[in-house]
Structure 1
Amino acid sequence: MKKRVAVCCSPLLVALWAAAVVCWAPLLEASMEAEELHLPGGVYGPESIAFDCRGEGPYAGVSDGRILKWKGPALGWTLFAVTSPNREGKECNGEPETEPACGRPLGLKFDHSSSSSSSSSCELYIADAYYGLLAVGPHGGLARQLASSAHGVPLRFTNALDIDSQNAAVYFTDSSTLFQRRVWVSSIMKGDKTGRLLKYDLRTKNVTVLLNGLAFPNGVALSTNSSFLIMAETGTLRILKFWLKGPKTHTAEIFAELERFPDNIKRTNNGDFWIAMNTARGKLETQTWTGESRGVTLQHGEVKIPWLRGDPVAVKLDERGAVKGMLDGGDGQALESVSEVEESRGRLWIGSAVKPYIGLIING
Structure 2
Amino acid sequence: MKESLAICSCSLSLALWVVAVVVVSWSPLSEAAIEAVELPGGVFGPESIAFDCRGEGPYAGVGDGRILKWNGSGLGWTQFAYTSPNREGKECNGEPQTEAACGRPLGLKFHPSTCELFIADAYFGLLAVGPQGGLASQLVSSAQGVPLRFTNALDIDPQNGVVYFTDSSLLFQRSVWILSIVNGDRTGRLLKYDPRTKNVTVLINGLAFPNGVALSTDSSFLLMAETGTLQILKFWLKGPKAQTTEIFVQLERFPDNIKRTDNGEFWIAMNTGRGKLETQTWMRLGGATTQHGEVKIPWIRGDPVAVKLDERGGVKGMIDGEEGQALESVSEVDERKGRLWIGSAVKPYVGFIMNG
Same fold (TM over 0.5): yes
- In structure 2, the CA distance between the partners of 1:304 and 1:207, relative to structure 1 (3 Å rule), is closer
Assess, with a 3 A threshold, how the Cα gap between structure 1 residues 122 and 250 changes in structure 2: closer, same or farther.
same
Q: What SS does the corresponding residue of 1:256 show, helix, strand or coil?
A: strand
1:208 counterpart residue number: 201
Pairing 1:345–2:346 present: no
Q: 1:246 maps to which residue?
A: 239
Residue 336 (str. 1) matches residue 328 (str. 2): yes
Q: Is the 8 A contact 1:58 1:70 kept in 2?
A: yes
Is the 8 Å Cα contact of residues 50 and 57 (structure 1) preserved in structure 2?
yes
Q: Which amino acid aligns with 1:318?
A: D
C-alpha displacement at 1:289, in angstroms? 3.2
Q: CA deviation at 1:72?
A: 0.9
Q: What does 1:78-117 correspond to in 2, within 5 Å?
A: 78-112=78-112, 114=113
Task: Name the counterpart of 2:21.
Answer: none
Task: Could you list the structure 1 runs, at least 4 aligned residues long, displaced by more than 3 angstroms after superposition.
Answer: 1-4
Q: Aligned pairs, how many? A: 340
Unaligned runs of 5+ in 1: 11-23, 115-120
| Residue in structure 2 matched with residue 225 of structure 1 by the alignment | 218
Please name the residue that 1:26 is paired with.
Answer: 27
2:150 and 2:195 map into 1 onto residues whose CA distance is: 21
Query: Cα RMSD between the aligned structures?
Result: 1.8
Q: What is the CA–CA distance in structure 2 between the aligned matches of 1:220 and 1:209, rounded to whole Å? A: 15
Post-superposition CA distance 1:252-309 (Å, at most 9, x none): 0000110110000000000000000111112224x4233222333133xx41438352
The superposition leaves residues 19-44 of structure 1 with CA deviations (integer Å, 9 ceiling, x where unpaired) of xxxxx841645x74321111111111
Cα distance 1:53–1:3, how it changes in 2: closer, same or farther (>3 A)? farther
Q: Quick check: 1:323 aligned with 2:315?
A: yes
User: Is 2:330–2:345's contact at 8 Å kept on the other side of the alignment?
Assistant: yes
Structure 1 range deviating more: 33-42 or 137-146: 33-42
SS of the counterpart of 2:291? Answer: strand
Percent identical pairs in the alignment equals 74
Report the equivalent of 1:43: 43
- TM-score, normalization by structure 2: 0.92
SS of residue paired to 2:294: strand
* Alignment-derived partner of residue 296 in structure 2: 305
Match of 1:275 in 2: 268
Q: Does the alignment pair 1:314 with 2:314?
A: no
Q: Which amino acid aligns with 2:319?
A: L
Shifted more, 55-64 versus 275-284: the winner is 275-284
Cα distance change on mapping 1:345 and 1:306 into 2, 3 Å: closer
* Residue 144 (structure 2) pairs with residue 143 (structure 1): no
Contact 1:5 1:32 in 2 (8 A): no
Conserved? CA contact 1:4–1:33, under 8 Å: no
Q: Distance in 2 between matches of 1:183 and 1:27?
A: 42
* SS of 2:101 mapped into structure 1: helix
Q: Return the offset for 1:5.
A: 2.2
- 1:167-190, Cα deviation, whole Å (9 max, x unpaired): 230000000011000000100000
Gap regions ≥5 residues in structure 2:
11-24
Q: Secondary structure at the match of 2:108?
A: strand
Question: Is the CA contact (8 Å cut-off) linking 2:166 and 2:212 kept in structure 1?
Answer: yes
CA contact (8 A) 1:7 1:27 kept: no
* Structure 1 stretch displaced more, 241-250 or 327-336: 327-336
Distance 1:203 1:215, change over 3 A: same
* Counterpart AA for 2:206: G
Aligned amino acid, residue 100 of structure 2: P
- Report what 1:61 is aligned to: 61
